[in-house]
Amino acid sequence: MSPFPAGRMAIRLLAWLGLLLAALPAFAQSTDDLLPVTEAYKLSADASTPGMLKLHWTIAPDYYLYRGRMKFKGGDGVTLGEAQLPDGEKHHDEYLGDVETYHHSVDASTPYTVVAGTTRVKLSVQYQGCHEVDPKICYPPHTEQIDLPLQASGTTAAAGNALGAALSQLGGNKSSTATAIDTAPLPADQAFRFEALAQNPHQLLLRWTMPKGYYLYRDQTTLKLKDATGLSLKPVWPAGTAHHDAHYGDVTVFFDQVELPVMVEGSLGDRKQLSLEASFQGCQDGGLCYPLMTRAVNIDLGTNVASAGQTIETAPELPPADASRGPLQISLIAALLLALGGGLILNLMPCVLPVLSIKAVSVLESGESRTTARHHALFYTAGVLCSFAALGLGILALRTAGHALGWGSQLQQPLLVGALACVMLAVGLSMSGVVQFGASLGNTGAGLAARSGPAGDFFTGVLAVVVASPCTAPFMGSALAYAFAAPILAALLVFLALGIGLALPFLLIGFVPALARLLPRPGRWMETLKQVLAFPMYLTTAWLVWVLANQRGADAVGLVLVAMVLLAMTLWWFERSRSRGALSRVAVAVLAVATLVPMYLLAHVPPASSVAAAEEGVVPYSVGKLAELRAADTPVFVDMTADWCVTCKANEHTVLNTQAFRDLLRRTGSVYMKGDWTDVNPAISAFLQQYHSPGVPLYVVFPKNGGPGRQLSTVLTPSMVDQALTEAAR
């Protein structure tokens, strides 16, 4: 057995003996002037504030209390939180060492919760103090029993009003800022409403709903299954709000409402129900912090209903999907043909055109040399295929591990968006003639994409795939949905077919002489063309900065702009240093390292704490709101989009942001609901998974009769939307 517990007991015993020895001389002297302990330390208590007990000691002259000797214990039906005590006067005690003491008076408070039906607050308070002049004496620890009635304002009346206020918050998804409130704290089961359901046997959805001014700690939440050997839970937390907390320091919290998808890993067998236990903690902003709360819930895996104790309510289930749109309803051959066609059309999408300008210049510069043209085509195709294979395998591996990723979701990472913006700027500067990349800078992405030869061709193909990911061309959606649900080998073939489609125009130019002869002959005009084609690169850079602004706000934009200025300075000095000595090359290295500093800071910029106001006539997506609309027999047009999704923006410009669409909504009595997947959002990821969508855009129309949702094409037309909403309103 470890000697440390015994050692601590010995130290504690010696301290007590010291206090006793300190008291003995006093007993030998006259004690007529010493006060009884309850008069030396007059304790009063106040429970008029619901959820908070206030204590006050009036300390007689020449007496003091030890801060560290105060203890509080709740009675029947009363649970106490952490006591809040002021700092005391620092003092070195002969027997207890460095301590803090109180003179004259001291106020303390402790939060509390009570079980239903409790009418009185009962607790025990222990304290200890000393008389500091002759006769010096230290009283033994003294315990007083507190028994106070709960005020009417803190029980029935206030609870009824608070419950109404809490219920008025339910179903809302409004953002809240972390501002203090002056209202009395609510009972725990009203301040933190917990709900659970099974979206499918292997995915649960948990939801906490808090009134305005309350928040939930992310890292104080634990989940576990009871009597479920072989099963484990993997929560996928959404981005929360950065908050400085007096108890835990810098933490991540959630205001208003948070929906938490939870993956169930392991074999369920014939299990029809799961027993989940959730422990969590939260606070009233600027008020009390509640003790750890535990709620138990039984989740029916067959009917999507959560049943449990008195504090658990059933959350609305996700709307049913149209089973006929399953991802494996098409054959592998059909998926490959769709992927090939989608990849070919991808060349015409605005996200890919800027990068293709680089390759167009290199093809034109190759002139009539068939060998050079074939080399361009082969190495470009190799870069495209390798990138598609790596991207496909990475997405499939992460999704198999339970991560909700999809096509283009890598652009949910602000650091990648910022880095890609810098690469586009560097390529544009190269095409403008500011810098000519040579072998010494060949390891950088921009240099490899801009230089000639096999390396330049290969990495131009890589860059084309990176910038193609925000786009979804016609036929791509069905092919990618198939790939995300098919076996690994079949999925890999679909991704490679996409790559072949993207590279096909340059393959044809390289290997079909008749097509190559249609190209104009090289000449001095090529330099002007190259400089003109730099401007699409700058526009792409501006678009990526705009995406970053929507993800992380003005601070992130400022950092990436500083990085761009430093990058431009690095490239400018790199070009000037060609004919200079080693010192100039060192300066280039220093500037290059300086460019990385704002990018490092960018990676640590938290998400914006508040959400921008909703667009007029647009309802933000939430599971509960969609279920509410469907229960009211309202047709709903659900639009899952993202700021980095070029196809989404094209559809909005041509169809969804038009007066004709708004008139159609009024005529059919439909609601336009939009989900923003620009940043990570597990609730939207779960919706995409339900409809086997590899990413955004996803458009689903729900009819008024409660039937399954109808999934539309990724590229919308006015007639398609008109027909879908007209049928949904019948």
pLDDT one-digit tens code per residue, 115-142: 766 778 888 999 998 888 877 778 878 8
What's the whole-model pTM score? 0.45
Work out the pLDDT band at 406, boundaries 50, 70, 90.
Answer: low
- HSE on the CB side for 301, CA within 13 Å? 14
d(CA 402, CA 236): 9
The string of pLDDT tens digits covering residues 296-305 is 888 887 544 4
Cis bond before residue 135 (omega within 30° of 0): yes
Query: What integer pLDDT is reported at residue 483 of this predicted model?
Result: 72
Q: Which of 423, 391, 424, 425 is nearest to 408 (CA)?
A: 391
Domains of the chain: 4-150 (2.60.40.1250), 170-317 (2.60.40.1250), 329-532 (no CATH), 618-728 (3.40.30.10)
Between the two ends of the chain, the Cα-to-Cα distance in Å is: 78
Which is more confident, 287 or 244?
A: 244
Give me the chain's average pLDDT, please. Answer: 76
The string of pLDDT tens digits covering residues 487-511 is 778 888 888 998 898 888 888 877 8
pLDDT of residue 707 exceeding 70, the answer is yes
Q: What are the DSSP calls for 650-693, one per residue? A: HHIIIIITSHHHHHHHHHHT-EEEEEE-SS--HHHHHHHHHTT-
Contact status, residue 127 vs residue 70, Cβ threshold 8 Å = yes
Contact status, residue 220 vs residue 232, Cβ threshold 8 Å = no
Burial 209-238 (b: 16+ CB within 10 A, else e): bbbbbbbbbbebbebebeebeebebebbbb
Cβ neighbour number for residue 438 with a 10 Å cutoff: 12
The string of pLDDT tens digits covering residues 640-670 is 998 888 788 889 989 999 999 999 999 999 9
Cβ neighbour number for residue 563 with a 10 Å cutoff: 24
Cis bond before residue 697 (omega within 30° of 0): yes
Q: Which of 707, 623, 703 is nearest to 320 (CA)?
A: 707
The string of pLDDT tens digits covering residues 36-74 is 888 899 999 888 777 788 899 999 998 999 998 899 998
Query: What integer pLDDT is reported at residue 338 of this predicted model?
Result: 84
Work out the pLDDT band at 469, boundaries 50, 70, 90.
Answer: low
Query: What integer pLDDT is reported at residue 720 of this predicted model?
Result: 92
Which sign, positive or negative, has the C-alpha torsion 30, 36, 42, 43?
positive
Query: What integer pLDDT is reported at residue 454 of this predicted model?
Result: 77
Helix (H) or strand (E) holding 23: helix 4-28
407-421, 616-630, 646-660: lowest mean pLDDT where?
A: 407-421
